[in-house]
């Protein structure tokens, strides 16, 4: 029988898929992080495009040259978020080089956390914080980049809370991940940890 060239297409496709599979396995899974961190967590962070509490668009690149202390949460959070934000604010108050660090609060509840809501909320934690929100997709992309989990949690009496991971990330002036801290670390321990990184 005579095979038309089209008859080979499925075989070529199968070969290409096998080759791609081999290359994918051979490639390093994550870019090297320069040996800065030791927990084996790779490639945390990355580009984002969100809006701050003053309505200004902010991208990851806008912060190059400064350390970022990043926490994801939401302003309606009853306890975990305020504790984390207070620890971040207090830790920075203890550091003489605090102006090198920008504390950033990224909401996981963009439907309620408008720039205006974030502005009022963050006032309670001093003037340093940058609050970030955006459309649902942009917030999801930022959370994904930081490996942050969150989920809407309906409340019995109506409304909802957000379940969310509670981790404080320290990013370097080059935008790369340096360290992370459990949000229950407390301000003294956080200040000491940050002092070693500056």
Query: For binding to Ni ion (CB under 5 A), which residues are involved?
Result: 73, 77, 80-81
- Paired sense of beta strands 167-171 and 67-73, if any: antiparallel
| Minimum gap (Å) between residue 76 Cβ and Ni ion | 8
Residues in the chain: 198
48/121 with CB nearer Ni ion? 121
67/150 with CB nearer Ni ion? 150
| Minimum gap (Å) between residue 41 Cβ and Ni ion | 21
Q: Which residue is nearest to Ni ion (CB)?
A: 77
Question: What tokens were used for 143?
Answer: 């959370």
- How many angstroms separate the Cα of 159 from the Cα of each of 44, 66, 68, 163, 189? 32, 38, 32, 13, 35
174/182 with CB nearer Ni ion? 182
| Minimum gap (Å) between residue 108 Cβ and Ni ion | 8
The CA distance from 8 to 90, in Å, is 67
């Amino acid at each position: 029988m005579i095979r038309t060239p089209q008859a080979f297409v499925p075989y070529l496709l199968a070969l290409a898929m096998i080759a791609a599979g081999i290359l994918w396995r051979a490639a390093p899974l994550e870019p090297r992080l320069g040996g800065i961190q030791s927990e084996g967590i790779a490639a945390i962070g990355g580009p984002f495009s969100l809006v701050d509490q003053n309505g200004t668009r902010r991208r990851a690149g806008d912060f190059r040259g400064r350390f970022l202390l990043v926490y994801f949460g939401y302003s309606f959070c009853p306890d975990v978020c305020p504790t984390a934000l207070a620890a971040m604010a207090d830790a920075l108050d203890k550091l003489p080089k605090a102006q090198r660090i920008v504390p950033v609060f990224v909401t996981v509840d963009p439907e309620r956390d408008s720039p205006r809501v974030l502005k009022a909320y963050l006032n309670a934690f001093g003037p340093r914080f940058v609050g970030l929100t955006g459309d649902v997709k942009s917030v999801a992309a930022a959370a994904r980049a930081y490996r942050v989990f969150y989920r809407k949690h309906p409340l019995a009496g109506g409304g909802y809370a957000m379940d969310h991971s509670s981790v404080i990330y320290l990013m370097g002036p080059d935008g790369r991940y340096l360290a992370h801290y459990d949000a229950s670390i407390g301000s003294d321990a956080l200040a000491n940890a940050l002092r070693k990184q500056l």
